[in-house]
A and B are shown apart, each in its own frame.
Chain A
Amino acid sequence: MTVEEGVVTDLKFIIKDYRRFYTEAVKGKPLIAVPSFLSRICGTCSVAHLFAALEALEKSQEIKVTEQTKLLRRLSYDGLIIRDHALHLYFFVLPDILGIDSILDIPDDPGNIGYTLLHDSFDIKKAGTEITNVIIGAAIHAPLPTIGGFLKLPDPSLFPQLISKLEAIRPQVLRGIKTFSQWPQSLMRNSDYLCLRNDRQFDFLEGQIINSSGKRVPEEKFHDFLKSVVIPYSQAEGYVFSDSHEDYLVGALARINFNKDLLHPQTKMDCQTYLQTFPSNNIYHNNLAQAIEILQCVDDALDILKTIRINQEGPVRKSFQAGIGVGVVEAPRGILYHKAVVGEKGLIEDYDVIVPTAQNQINIESDLKKYFNENLDKDEQTLRLDAEKIIRAYDPCMSCATNFLKIDWIRK
C-alpha cells in the first residue's frame, strides 16, 4: 500500500495461494472421475465444487436427475451451509466480536458468553456435518453423489436423530443471529451484488444470476457477462460484471439482499427484526446474513427430513455424447461456476472454474482502499486488524489464511 500526503494512492490485495492447475489436470480424463477430483479444489467448499461439477457434466450429457436426487442434494447442501457458515462465524469472526485473538483464548467458564457461543458452534457444526455424513457419506470429499444421482441412498432410519439434533440447535442458532446482529462494525460502499435467484424458493443450487439493476442471466450465459481482469501481482484472476463494468460482491450478503422474500416462513418469522437490516451495503452484514442462512438451512432441512420418502433408485445413466455443460451453484461464499466440454467418448476436452473468492477480489481491494483512506490517522496495528476483519467478513476461501495478512507500507 502506498500512501502519499495522507492519501492511499495505491493498494494491491495479493492472493498468494499456489495454483494446482486442476482444470488442466482433468483434460483427457473420463467424466465420471471428474466431480470427485474437482471437489479437492477446496476443503471447506468441497461439496459446492462437487455439485457444480455434477451439474455441469450432467448438462453436457443431457441427463436429467430425479426429483428425489434434487431433494437429497438440497438437503446435503443445507448441511454444508450449516457447517461451513458456523465454522466461519464462530471460529474466525467471533474472536473479533469478543476482542480476543482466538477461540483458544475463550475462558473455560460456562458463565462466559464466549464459552456459550463456542459450545453452541460445536453443536451447530456437528449437526451440519451429520446431515452430510448421512446423505452423501462425508462432509469433505463426499463419496456418494455421482453423475445422475447417488451411488448409495441414505438410510431413512437415521433421519429422526437428525431431526432431533436440528431442533435442538435451533435456539442456539437464534442466539448466534442475535450476537452477530449486535456487532456495530460498519463499512459501507456501493458496489454491485450478484447471486442466484430461484423465484420458487430460497435456493443455493438452482436459479438465474441476478444483479442490482435487475439483470437476469441464465447460468450458461454467466461467463459471457464477466470480464476477466488479469491482476499481475496476484495468482488469482479478478472479474468485473461487464454489464456495469463495476466491481461486485458475491456471497450471503448478496443472497439475503435479493432473496430475503424467499426465506423459509419459520426463518422469516423468527428473523423479522434482523431482516429489516437488508438490503444492506455494509460488508460486515455478510456475517449476519450467514447467520440467518444457517437458520434457513435448519428449517429447510427439517422440512425435507420430515417429508421425504426414499425410493430405491439408481443413478440415471446414458451413453456418452459430446456436449458442453455449465453448473452454477451458490457456494457458502458466493457464486461458483463450472463449465465442462466433453468429447463423444466421455473424455474431458476443456474445463473452466470461476471461484467466488476470485470474484470478490477486486471488491475486497476497493473496500480496503476506502477503509484506509478514511482511517489513516489510526495506528498500524489497528489498521491491520481492521483490514483482517474486512477480509474475514467476505469469508474468503483462504479464510484460514486471513491471519496471514501482511501489509507492506510505503509512505511518501
Chain B
Amino acid sequence: MDQQKKLVVGWFSFTCSEDSTILFTELLNDHLDEWKKVVEFRYLKALKSKNEIAGLDVAFIEGAVSSDTQAEEVKKIRGHAKYVVAVGACACTGMPSASRNEFVSDEVNQKIAYYLHHFDYSQKVKKLDEVIKVDDQVPGCPMTVSIFLEILTKYLKLFNISPDA
C-alpha cells in the first residue's frame, strides 16, 4: 500500500516570547496522534535536532525580525516553502517585540546602544511581511488556536491530504 502523502511543515521562531510555540506543544496533547498521520514535521527545533528546511509545503513562522541575519534566515525559509504563515502578534504586527522602535528618549537609546552596536541588531524590528511575502496570518498573543487549526486544515485540503485516508 502506498504511504499517504503528508503535509511537509516547518515551524520557526524568531524574536518573541515563543508563546505560540508553547501553545503549539499544548495542542499536541490532543492532536499529536492525529497529526503524525498527515503531517511531516520536517523542521521543528523545539522538538527535534535533525531538521531540514528543503521542500516545505508550509512554513509557520513565529516572532519578529530583529537583525539582518534573521532577515536572511526568513528569506531562506521563504525560498524553501510553498506557503508561509505568520504566527502570533510579533510576526503579524511586530509588537510587542518591536517596542524599541518607539523609544524616543536619548537616555534609553544610549542604554541599549551597547547591545545594538555590539551585536548584529538591525535599526528597526520588523514584522514578517515587511521582509518576505506572507500567505496567511494567525494573530494573537499567543496565537489564536481556532485560526491556527483552520489554517492547518485549509492547507491539508489544498494538498489533498485527508485525515481519514
Q: Which residues of A contact B (CB under 8 A)?
A: 17-22, 24-25, 27, 37, 40-44, 46, 83, 87, 91-92, 101-104, 108, 118, 121-123, 125-126, 129, 139-141, 232, 235, 388, 400-401, 403-404
Closest residue of chain A to B22, judged by CB? A43
Q: B54 an interface residue at 8 Å Cβ cutoff?
A: no
Measured CA separation A266–B97 after assembly (Å): 43
Nearest-neighbour CB distance to chain B for A273, whole angstroms, equals 30
Do most interface residues of chain A lie in helix, strand or loop, or is the interface mixed? helix
The listed residue (B17, B97, B119) touching A46 by CB distance below 8 A is B17
The listed residue (B36, B70, B112) touching A108 by CB distance below 8 A is B36
Measured CA separation A17–B118 after assembly (Å): 14
Contacts of A400 in B (CB 8 A): 13, 18, 21, 45-46
Q: Which residues of B contact A (CB under 8 A)?
A: 13, 15-23, 25-26, 28-30, 32-33, 36, 41, 44-51, 66-67, 70, 96-97, 99-100, 102-103, 105, 108, 111-112, 115, 118-119, 121, 141-142
Nearest-neighbour CB distance to chain A for B83, whole angstroms, equals 22
A-B contact list, 22 entries, CB within 8 Å: A21-B99, A21-B100, A25-B96, A25-B100, A25-B103, A40-B141, A41-B17, A43-B142, A87-B22, A91-B25, A101-B48, A102-B44, A104-B36, A104-B44, A118-B32, A125-B26, A140-B19, A141-B141, A141-B142, A235-B115, A400-B45, A403-B49
Nearest-neighbour CB distance to chain A for B1, whole angstroms, equals 16
Known contacts A403-B45, A403-B46, A404-B45; is-contact A44 B22 (Cβ 8 Å): yes
Nearest-neighbour CB distance to chain B for A25, whole angstroms, equals 4
Does the CB pair B18–A44 fall under 8 Å? yes
Does the CB pair B18–A43 fall under 8 Å? yes
Contacts of A18 in B (CB 8 A): 15, 66-67, 70, 119, 121
Taking A46-B17, A104-B47, A104-B48 as given, write out 5 further A-B residue pairs in contact, using a Cβ cutoff of 8 Å, ordered by the A residue number: A40-B17, A42-B18, A43-B18, A108-B36, A125-B26
Nearest-neighbour CB distance to chain A for B19, whole angstroms, equals 3
Known contacts A43-B17, A104-B36; is-contact A22 B99 (Cβ 8 Å): yes
Nearest-neighbour CB distance to chain A for B121, whole angstroms, equals 7
For A20, A91, A101, A140, the residue with the greatest tally of chain B CB atoms inside 10 Å of its CB is A20
Known contacts A37-B96, A102-B47; is-contact A122 B111 (Cβ 8 Å): no
Measured CA separation A101–B51 after assembly (Å): 11
Measured CA separation A341–B67 after assembly (Å): 31
Closest residue of chain A to B112, judged by CB? A21
Measured CA separation A192–B46 after assembly (Å): 30
7 smallest A-B Cβ distances: which pairs? A43-B19, A102-B48, A25-B99, A400-B46, A122-B29, A18-B66, A43-B17
Closest residue of chain A to B19, judged by CB? A43
Closest residue of chain A to B66, judged by CB? A18
Nearest-neighbour CB distance to chain B for A183, whole angstroms, equals 19
Measured CA separation A18–B100 after assembly (Å): 12
Contacts of B121 in A (CB 8 A): 18
Contacts of A102 in B (CB 8 A): 44, 47-50
Nearest-neighbour CB distance to chain B for A94, whole angstroms, equals 11
Contacts of B99 in A (CB 8 A): 20-22, 24-25
